[in-house]
A and B are shown apart, each in its own frame.
Chain A
Amino acid sequence: MQGFDLATPTTVDEAVALLAREGSLAIAGGTDLLPNIKHELFEPRTVVALGGIEELRGIELESDGTLSIGATTTLAHVAAHDEVRCRATALAQAASLVAGPQLRTMGTLGGNVLLDTRCQWYNQSYFWRQSLGFCLKKDGSVCHVIESGSKCVAAASNDTAAPLLTLDAELEFASNTGRRRLPIAELYKSDGVANLRKEPGELLVRVRIPALETGRERLGAYGKLRERGSIDFPLLGVAVRLDVVDDRIVHAALGAIALQARPLALQKAAAALIDAPASGPGFDDAVLACAAAAARQLHPVANVPGDAQWRKEMAPVYVRETVRAARAGTGPVHGR
């Protein structure tokens, strides 16, 4: 691995001062950063470790019911935490399916939210990429997915982004010029080279999930398509949120990842569920209409491994099963 200096700040102020310097990158769990450095995709001069900063840790329930999760909270902790499982079920389920056990013990929620986009032509060694003449995300000028394309379509592959979208999560960033809060829906853009509306020196401090309106029951589930039952990145990820009052769905949201550079909000699919009964034949019909609407919006391309046609055909299946799981209080939905 290419050399770098390691800095170990203990406060947010120290960290943002270090991150403001040219060539600095943050390391939380390091489970994406280090493979990317090894593949010579990232070439930092200084790596700033976040593990020693107290403010970035832990899960708290604020007095107004907001769930506040520190950026360096591990995915294993998010997946197992009772308040997360109850108030943000799809998030807990998504975290429980990221990679394998060791990587969930190491990997953090912040690192997941800010994960670099992935592509089978990009997440490769320098030697491998060089043999193909590189690509426009790094070191080259062509795209191997959309030939003649001028835009990178590497996929947002972070499982937690989909549930966080459906839960209207808000992100708190710190930099050497102050702090700001950003709705997660505004974080991502559709450019695979750099899909984050975030300055290089900005540090993600906490992720907040707003409280549910009183009188509503919030249901959620996550579905993940992948080749093996463990370790693999998603070939498709679907998060579902249903808010229910008196057996009627008063609000629904669906999010999908591993399609394009931006995690997608599936508004038409969600609209098919809103105002539908939450049980009986009315619910069953709404679920099928939702899955059909999702299928019209989801167009996998050959950016991540796995046959794109298979991913396309599985999309309505995963949407259908994940909505059903949310209603039944089961899930996550995944192959093996």
Chain B
Amino acid sequence: MASSIVELKVNGDTVEVAAPDHFTLLEVLRYRLGLTGSKQGCDKGDCGACTVLVDGEPVLACLTLARLAVGHEVTTIEGLMPAHLRAGGTGADPVQEAFDRCGALQCGFCQPGMMLSARALLDREPNPSRAAIKGALSGNLCRCTGYTQIIEAVETAIAASTERAPDGGSR
């Protein structure tokens, strides 16, 4: 089976990894690059724990072949805070802060995917309705929280962003 050097753009960095053709983006992230923030839950598309952003859109890394991500911008949970800082923000991404403040997690396994789905929503639509929040997170399963605090966390992140918007932008 063929292997090759795959050049990926991950969290703003260009990285080169050797990987067989059948490796998924998730396998390259976790087992070649050591970026274990993206979780391997079901590994077959059911749970959303492996969600990453490709060109800003949430996709499932477990069903994306690594070689087919070449030429696209991949953002994992590890890249969220650095991107926020680069954009002139302070501390973690407002979504991360809000999940922390609202206690929107128990075991934490679903959180990287949840937060990336939420981040992509807020980049697209800064002030979404509750229905839009639920829709955007509907491909991310949580076995622990019952979702209530997760939705509250996204609403808290929106409130924080809109409050801070007048004096220089939220992120």
Contact = CB atoms under 8 A, between A and B. Distances in A.
Contacts of A103: 45, 60, 63, 139
Contacts of A100: 48, 138-140
Contacts of B91: none
Contacts of B59: 102, 105-106
Contact of A49 (B58, B68, B135): B68
Interface in A94-114: 99-103, 105-106
B123 to A, nearest CB: 14
A51 B44 contact: no
Given A51-B68, A101-B58, A2 B46 contact: no
A2 B20 CA distance: 11
Given A5-B1, A35-B44, A49-B65, A102 B51 contact: yes
A31 B2 contact: no
Contacts of B76: none
Given A30-B65, A31-B63, A38-B44, A105 B58 contact: yes
B64 interface: yes
A106 B52 CA distance: 12
A75 B58 CA distance: 14
A31 B62 CA distance: 9
Contacts of A99: 45, 139
Contacts of B48: 100, 102
B63 A105 contact: no
Contacts of A35: 44-45, 63
Interface of B: 1-2, 20-22, 24, 43-46, 48, 51, 57-60, 62-65, 67-68, 117, 135-136, 138-141
28 contacts: A2-B22, A3-B20, A4-B1, A4-B22, A5-B21, A6-B21, A6-B22, A8-B67, A30-B65, A31-B45, A31-B60, A34-B45, A34-B62, A34-B65, A38-B43, A38-B44, A47-B65, A49-B65, A49-B68, A99-B139, A100-B138, A101-B117, A101-B136, A102-B59, A102-B60, A103-B63, A106-B60, A231-B46
